[in-house]
């Protein structure tokens, strides 16, 4: 049979009863003859609890040593859930063994709290699989060249699972979560949202980068780079569901376009509440200004999203970009302390209460008027657009956060995603 990687999110591991159900599901797959590697997240809420304790002791800190200790602390959540799952599997009569990332090892760079995987040694895991064991590998973490424990950032267990699947050349990576697949948008915002049977890798990559919380973007990037077949499905279906039915459920992330995909101009509406807008006003309109502003931001390991530069007036211009809300204060302080004096800018202003809404679909490549339909729908609802960003298969707008749900609902309707097939 096949080598399969299962990944279970925090809600799937949220209690001993849920862990027991995960163990029963994994055992079912193993008894069917599959080799199983399982990558669990920390129990729901555990990472927040641990980081909250750190915040009580030191609300903010800039030293690398502080972030090293945050990784040491946060990594214990996945270690606990992995050991508990191994114990539950043993109670089911399955031979199992759990490993922390550093024991495999999963090697990363030294960017604490945002580390990137560089390589995975598969020898130890393969030996256990050949011996008939279910192998459990902690998600979200690894070890850097100096032997320090690192974490991959929020949602990093998805990335761990896909990276392990790539290293082992697994037949498929199944991402078990609290939803039963990828939807046209968040059903909590639009009850009429529909589950997609398949979604292209390109669309999933855009949706993940634009705020869809189903998969972490780096996991999709990994899947694309190494052509790892992925499926998103629910861990809350009965554990004893027929194996063939389960293996075809959820949403398949496919690498091949088909005829059905051509019919949908827009496949989904993605959004992100967690962004903030920063504007550097009155900077010289000369070559190198963008690099002078964004260079120090990048050096501080702050990711920038949408960028616009206004028309020059009297040799000066305004430069705006978005960052995550978590990086907002740090970026504002950095710009005010170093970039503004260096460039002679007039001031830095910000707005932490924005949201990004995006339409995504590979059908946009061959259809005209998609953006105008989007803008018309938003205008009809009185939603003002602050920034616009486009690519071949997506158009994103930055708007006031208070209009987010209205915008998503109006776009979902405008592009016919409410309609029954």
Return binding residues for substrate: 47, 78
Strand partners, 230: 173, 253
Q: Which of 165, 161, 186, 180 is nearest to 248 (CA)?
A: 180
Q: Binding site residues, as ranges?
A: 7-10, 47, 78, 177-178, 183, 188, 213-214
Q: Binding site residues for ATP, as ranges?
A: 7-10, 177-178, 183, 188, 213-214
Which two structure tokens, joined as six digits, stand for 273? Answer: 């509440």
Give the C-alpha separation, 70 to 77, whole Å. Answer: 12
Which two structure tokens, joined as six digits, stand for 75? Answer: 């990594």
Side-chain half-sphere CA neighbours of 245 within 13 A: 7
End-to-end CA distance of the chain: 36
Whether residue 351 contacts residue 325, with contact meaning beta carbons closer than 8 Å, is answered with: no
Give the C-alpha separation, 194 to 381, whole Å. Answer: 23
Q: Which of 367, 371, 415, 365 is nearest to 395 (CA)?
A: 371
Which two structure tokens, joined as six digits, stand for 226? Answer: 């190494």
The dihedrals phi and psi of 388, each to the nearest 5 degrees, come to -135, 140
Give the C-alpha separation, 276 to 352, whole Å. Answer: 4
120-145 as b/e: b if 16+ CB within 10 A: bebeebbebbeeebbbbbbbbbbbbe
DSSP string, 274-334: EEEEEEEEEEE-STTHHHHHHHHHHHTT--EEEEEEPPPBTTEEEEEEEEEHHHHHHHHHH
The dihedrals phi and psi of 251, each to the nearest 5 degrees, come to -120, 125
CA dihedral over 106, 296, 325, 373, signed as positive or negative: negative
Strands 230-234 and 172-177, how do they pair?
Answer: parallel
Which two structure tokens, joined as six digits, stand for 49? Answer: 């609890």
Classify 191 as helix, strand or coil. Answer: coil
345-371 as b/e: b if 16+ CB within 10 A: beebebbeebbbbbbbbbbbeeeeebe
């Amino acid at each position: 049979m096949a080598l399969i990687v299962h990944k279970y999110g925090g809600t799937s591991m949220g209690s001993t009863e849920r862990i027991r159900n995960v163990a029963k599901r994994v055992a079912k797959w193993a008894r069917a003859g599959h080799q199983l590697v399982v990558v669990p997240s920390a129990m729901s809420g555990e990472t927040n609890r641990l980081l909250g304790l750190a915040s009580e002791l030191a609300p903010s800190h800039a030293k690398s040593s502080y972030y090293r200790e945050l990784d040491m602390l946060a990594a214990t959540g996945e270690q606990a859930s992995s050991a508990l799952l191994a114990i539950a599997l043993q109670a089911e009569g399955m031979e199992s063994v759990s490993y922390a990332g550093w024991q495999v090892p999963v090697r990363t760079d030294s960017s604490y709290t945002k580390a990137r995987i560089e390589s995975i040694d598969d020898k130890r895991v393969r030996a256990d699989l050949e011996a008939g064991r279910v192998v459990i590998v902690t998600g979200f973490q690894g070890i850097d060249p100096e032997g320090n424990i690192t974490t991959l950032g929020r949602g990093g267990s998805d990335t761990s699972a896909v990276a392990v699947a790539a290293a082992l050349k697994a037949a498929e990576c199944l991402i078990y979560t609290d939803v039963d697949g990828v939807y046209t948008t968040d059903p909590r915002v639009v009850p009429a949202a529909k589950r997609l049977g398949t979604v292209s890798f390109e669309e999933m990559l855009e949706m993940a980068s634009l705020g869809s919380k189903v998969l972490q973007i780096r996991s999709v990037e990994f899947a694309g780079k190494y052509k790892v077949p992925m499926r998103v499905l629910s861990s809350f279906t009965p554990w004893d569901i027929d194996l063939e039915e389960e293996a075809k459920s959820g949403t398949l992330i496919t690498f091949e376009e088909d005829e059905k995909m051509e019919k949908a101009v827009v496949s989904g509406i993605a959004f992100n509440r967690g962004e903030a807008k920063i504007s550097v006003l009155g900077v010289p309109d000369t070559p190198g200004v963008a690099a002078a502003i964004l260079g120090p931001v990048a050096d501080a390991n702050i990711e920038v999203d949408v960028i616009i530069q206004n028309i020059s007036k009297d040799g000066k211009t305004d430069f705006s970009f978005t960052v995550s809300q978590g990086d907002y204060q740090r970026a504002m302080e950095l710009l005010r302390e170093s970039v503004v004096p260096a460039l002679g800018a007039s001031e830095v202003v910000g707005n932490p209460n924005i949201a990004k809404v995006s339409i995504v679909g590979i059908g946009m490549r061959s259809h005209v008027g998609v953006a105008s339909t989007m803008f018309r729908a938003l205008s009809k609802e009185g939603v003002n657009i602050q920034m616009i960003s486009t690519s071949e298969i997506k158009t994103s707008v930055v708007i006031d956060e208070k209009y987010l749900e209205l915008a998503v609902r109006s776009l979902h309707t405008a592009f016919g995603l409410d309609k029954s097939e």
